[in-house]
Amino acid sequence: MSNTSLLPLLSSSERQFILQGVASGVRSDGRGRLDARDIILETGLLPQANGSARVIIGNTDILVGIKADLGLPSQQNPDQGRIHCNVECTATVTNAVDSRDADSDAETLGHVITRIFVNSGCIDLKKLCLIPGSVCWNFYIDAMILGFDGNAADAIAQAVRAAFSDLRIPRVVIDTGSTPPTVEIDEDLRRAFCPVDVAALPLSMTMWKVGMSFLVDPTPAEEACASGALLVAATATGRVCLVQTLAGGAAQYSESAQATALPVPRGESTGAQAGAPPVAVVSAGGMNPHSIVDMLSTATEIAQSVARKQDEALRRVAEASTRSHGAGKSAHFVDQSVGFFADSFAATSGN
Amino acid sequence: MFASREFVSPEGLRLDGRRVNELRRLRVRSGPLTDADGSSYLELGNTRVLVAVYGPREVSSAKAARQTTQSSDRATVCCQFSMATFSGGERRRKIKGDRRTMSHASALEKAFSSTIAIDKIPPRSQIDIFVEVLQSDGGMLVACINATTLALIDAGIEIRDYLCASSSALLNDITVIDPNQNEEQSFGGSPTATVAVLPVTGGVVYLDVDTRLHIDRLEELVNQATTGALTIHTLLEKVVRDRTQSTVSTTSAQQNA
């Protein structure tokens, strides 16, 4: 189960309280089962990274930086660029727990992010290859969990998608005349561009099974009560890119048999692109197959709407930054102003 | 090699447009993290750090337990220092416990052990300082020390005085204050002094000069860094005063309501 090391220990009465609340449709913070918390988004925080974003959901606080450099393509795919995803917990989050447990949880989340953004085929890796077999772009996506208050996977996916919208890489000039061909980087950052179609990137929505019903965007206490979780990644157009269980109950429920029989909501094609690998249900620990189908369609719908909302927010960020020349880019899904700089103080001193 | 005039123009301006005795822009926020007992975020130019403070609390780490058995009449300060993988110019893989990380952590531990009013803290307890460098562009330790002071104040841990730090570097023959990474690494590592002082009670808590340097130049270098640290003290004090004032006014407004 993901984030095991970060979850609180609950007494049986606390557990009972949460389970009964969820069963009657009211959660301990007053939300309904399918109500997500407000999301706060900031982009362009790290000038030394090629793209960066911070997402805050409750007290869950995720900072993502994307760095790009030129490197060697892999031997298996010499005509493709490479994307490396890495998630880590900061000491502020793990201070109470064994850091090795937290590291392995972070690694699991890193794999999930790789599957959502890289393995889903939503990013055209061939466009990131400059000279097949010798030079390609390497993207390093590093997510830092600065605060944990439930729902880390979805928050990281949000932050990574926003960081991609902020991503700028320099243009390169490829001299094919010389042998071997050489690559020259255009240092003029005004000509830098975003190589990724952000609108086509998916967002994830995880459905957590608590008691007999499922809910989205859990708090740590609700995560601790969950008997299973299904992560669904979908694009704004409703294409499903990944379905994976995060939290597993006791049993690994028949894997491949369910995967082939799984209907895709509203007859839309699976996989982000034609020819992309089909959706794989990794495992369905302890969940009824019927509830999985339910969860899948609901999650897809929510992921779709959140992706659209984020696109709109990112558009607002872009507009604001062109007006203010990039100073303090930030936009919020809600009218609420929180950020590193919200009550910051600026001073220069010259004596 | 570069000539010194490339770092400081004849008009006395540096490559980033500052004068020789000018600090970079300082932006701070205290209490950005809600989970920690105290926290702060600080920007010194492009250097950005995030600090969280926990404690005083029960001894949990093995290191603190060892120190507690050695000196059972006092509290222990523990510091963890880490740099984000995207903090530098090149991406670097995170290595736990590499030499640079350890030396920064121990420098912070020592400096703050003598800044925190340790005799007023319950003995056999532990104060944890977690420092995360989000971006480094020179003056990393300077930013960490200033941010930690703010985080300790935010946590309400009693300190004897503000611990304020600054640095200075000698570029050929010119002393510049608060060098950025470019200036720190010029001439294959120019002499840089990092100084942390207790401005009101007086006293230097941390001093670090690397690279060979003629003794005649040392005083000027340290003096410049100290001047910078004193300037930072006035800035930090204003932040703390403003924050306290706004907290007090909101609390009293709530009480009146």
Decide if B50 and A146 are in contact by the 8 Å CB cutoff.
yes
Report percent pLDDT > 90 for chain B: 47
Q: Which residues pair with A193 in a beta bridge?
A: A169
Alpha-carbon distance of A349 to A242, in angstroms, equals: 52
Structure confidence at residue B211 (pLDDT): 80
Interface of A with B in 249-308 (CB under 8 A): none
Residues B128 and B81: beta-carbon distance below 8 Å: no
Segments making up each domain of chain A, as ranges:
4-332
Mean pLDDT: which of A5-9, A74-78, A305-309, B9-13 is highest?
A74-78
Tens digits of per-residue pLDDT, B45-92?
889 999 999 989 888 777 777 777 777 778 889 898 988 888 887 777
Residue B249 has pLDDT above 70, yes or no: yes
Q: What is the CATH number of domain A4-332?
A: 3.30.230.70
Ranges A136-145, A246-255, B3-12: which has the least confidence: A246-255
- 3-state SS, residue B214: coil
DSSP state of A299: H
What ranges in B73-205 are assigned the alpha helix state H? 99-113, 140-155, 181-184
User: How many residues in total does chain A contain?
Assistant: 351
Q: Smallest Cβ distance to A67: which of B22, B54, B91? A: B91
Residue B38 has pLDDT above 50, yes or no: yes
Q: Please name which of A197, A194, A191, A195 lies closest in space to residue A171, comparing C-alpha atoms.
A: A191
Q: Please name which of A100, A107, A105, A101 lies closest in space to residue A85, comparing C-alpha atoms.
A: A107
Region A1-10: mean pLDDT is 66
Ranges A10-19, A155-164, A315-324, A333-342: which has the least confidence: A333-342
Shortest CA distance from A348: residue in chain B: B25
Alpha-carbon distance of A201 to A122, in angstroms, equals: 6
Which residue would you say has higher pLDDT here, A98 or B26?
Answer: B26
Q: Smallest Cβ distance to B135: which of A48, A93, A146? A: A48
B94–chain A Cβ distance below 8 A for any pair: yes
Residue A164 has pLDDT above 60, yes or no: yes
Alpha-carbon distance of B119 to A40, in angstroms, equals: 42
Beta strands in A186-321 (DSSP E): 203-210, 213-216, 228-234, 240-245
- B192-197 vs B174-177, strand pairing mode: unpaired
Interface of B with A in 51-90 (CB under 8 A): 52, 54, 80, 82, 84-90
A52–chain B Cβ distance below 8 A for any pair: yes
Place of tokens 């997510």: A143
Q: Cα-Cα-Cα-Cα dihedral of A104, A107, A112, A118, to 10°? A: -160
- For residue B77 the two structure tokens come to 């300060």
Total Cβ atoms within 10 A of residue A249: 17
Residues B145 and B26: beta-carbon distance below 8 Å: no
- For residue A261 the two structure tokens come to 């029989």
- A82-89 vs A135-147, strand pairing mode: parallel
B56/chain A closest Cα distance in angstroms: 14
A65–chain B Cβ distance below 8 A for any pair: yes
| Homologous superfamily (CATH) for B4-244 | GHMP Kinase, N-terminal domain (3.30.230.70)
A340–chain B Cβ distance below 8 A for any pair: yes
Decide if B24 and A348 are in contact by the 8 Å CB cutoff.
yes
Shortest CA distance from B51: residue in chain A: A92
Best residue in B93, B134, B247 to probe A by mutation, most A CBs within 10 Å? B134
